[in-house]
Amino acid sequence: MKDIVSEPLIFMPVERKDGTYALRLCLNQGLLTPGMTRSIMEIMESYPGITLRATTGQRMNLEGIPKDKLDDVVSTLGTSIPMCPPGVSVCPGSELCKYGRQKTREIGDRLLELIKANGPYPFKVKSGISGCGMACGLSFVRDIGLVGLAKGWNVHFGGSARHRAAPGLCLAKSVSDDEALAIVKKALIYYRDTARKGERMGMLVRRLGHEVVADALK
């Protein structure tokens, strides 16, 4: 660790019920560089009681920051922003996992750029990419989900893991990377232009009906 240079991070402060704060680290696909890790370790060494926790969305939170130490931690760690950019939950894919059928990292980056380019949206967009049908990227219950097959991807739209949990509408089966992303782009624009403010994709599908949405996204 001695030769590793600390790197600044981008994060979103979150106030907790007990009066402490968390810093939600805005990571791409949950990846931390050695320099980022060094910065985090220095914070935890300097402020006993602060811990690091992995989130379900493949991000990391620095937890337990006292309110009176928040400004010091923020200035030391990097850049504070009001909202983390959209994230994509990505499983290891065929490059690392013995069950994987498709590579996930590159298409995850392409999907993230697509989401950023076509916003803003009526509400948050959560996406998941899974290299096989086990769906470790939570693809079936994400707003946008890609599930890898031996040949290509299944594309899902409007999944929900909330109180009315349901899998997303399957828009296409066994399509290529480029075809999957073209379908996703059309779905994002449809959501952006059709949904009500504060309405997630799953809520839109329930309000309009599967047949109406599927027909619009043919």
User: Taking the domain 88-216, which CATH number applies?
Assistant: 3.30.413.10
- Whether 2 has a pLDDT exceeding 80, the answer reads no
**Peptide bond connecting 120 to the previous residue in cis, omega within 30 degrees of 0:** yes
Q: Which pair of structure tokens corresponds to residue 47?
A: 């402020």
Confidence (pLDDT) at 17: 96
- Write b or e for each residue in 46-80: b if 16 or more Cβ atoms lie within 10 A of its Cβ, otherwise e: ebeebebeeeebbbbbbbbbeeebbeebbeebbeb
Q: How confident is the model at residue 29 (pLDDT cuts 50, 70, 90)?
A: confident
The DSSP code for 68 is: G
Q: Given the structure tokens 């935890």, which residue do they identify?
A: 44
Query: Phi and psi of 200, rounded to 5°?
Result: -75, 165
Q: Is the dihedral of CA 43, 79, 55, 35 positive or negative?
A: negative
Q: Where are the domains of the chain?
A: 9-80, 88-216
Query: Phi and psi of 70, rounded to 5°?
Result: -60, -50
Confidence (pLDDT) at 1: 58
Q: Please give the average per-residue pLDDT across 9-32, as a whole number.
A: 94
- Whether 187 has a pLDDT exceeding 90, the answer reads yes
Q: Please give the average per-residue pLDDT across 121-145, as a whole number.
A: 96
Confidence (pLDDT) at 157: 98
- Whether 215 has a pLDDT exceeding 90, the answer reads yes
- Whether 113 has a pLDDT exceeding 70, the answer reads yes
Confidence (pLDDT) at 87: 82
What angle do helix axes 70-77 and 34-46 make, rounded to 10 degrees? 160
Confidence (pLDDT) at 47: 95
pTM of the full structure: 0.86
Is the separation of the CB atoms in 115 and 85 below 8 Å?
no
Is the separation of the CB atoms in 183 and 218 below 8 Å?
no
Q: Which pair of structure tokens corresponds to residue 135?
A: 């769906």
24, HSE (Cβ side, Cα atoms, 13 Å): 19
CATH topology assigned to domain 9-80: Sulfite Reductase Hemoprotein; domain 2 (3.90.480)
Task: Report the C-alpha gap between 101 and 186 in whole angstroms.
Answer: 25
Q: What is the pLDDT of residues 144-161, one digit of tens each?
A: 999 999 999 999 999 999
Within this chain, domains 9-80 and 88-216 share the same CATH topology: no
Confidence (pLDDT) at 77: 97
What angle do helix axes 105-117 and 177-194 make, rounded to 10 degrees? 30
Q: Given the structure tokens 């392409």, which residue do they identify?
A: 110
